[in-house]
Amino acid sequence: MGLYLGSEDAATDEQVVSALLKSVARGWNVIDTARNYRRGRAEAAVGEALVTLTSRGLRREQLFVSTKAGYLSGAPQAVLVMALCLARNKHL
């Protein structure tokens, strides 16, 4: 399931979480996200869905979550990579 499109608002966040929960319940196990998708809100929604799914008994290793380092102009590359890794650990 790809999470690139959508508005950057709470209503879309809820729709994304709902779609993730329904998709996984129907057997989907691949989630595609990135820090740049919806200005970070996509990864936060994935994190929220993962909390719900694991509380329902799903093991995290049953899902493949693909995320990517994004491009932020003006940021030194090493600082950018470290910041993205830390942010992902928070959300995913």
Whole-model pTM?
0.74
Say what the pLDDT of residue 71 is: 59
Per-residue confidence at 16, pLDDT binned at 50, 70, 90? very high
One-letter identity of residue 48: E
In a domain, 3, yes or no: no
Number of domains in the chain: 1
Residue range 25-82, pLDDT digits in tens? 999 999 998 878 888 888 899 999 999 999 999 998 899 988 886 655 555 555 666 6
Pairwise CA distance, residues 64 & 22, whole Å: 16
Say what the pLDDT of residue 25 is: 95
| More confident position, 92 or 36 | 36
Domain coverage including residue 67: 10-91
* Cβ contact 62:30 at 8 Å: no
Residue 50, CA distances (Å) to 13, 33, 64, 80 in order: 14, 13, 11, 25
In a domain, 73, yes or no: yes
In a domain, 5, yes or no: no
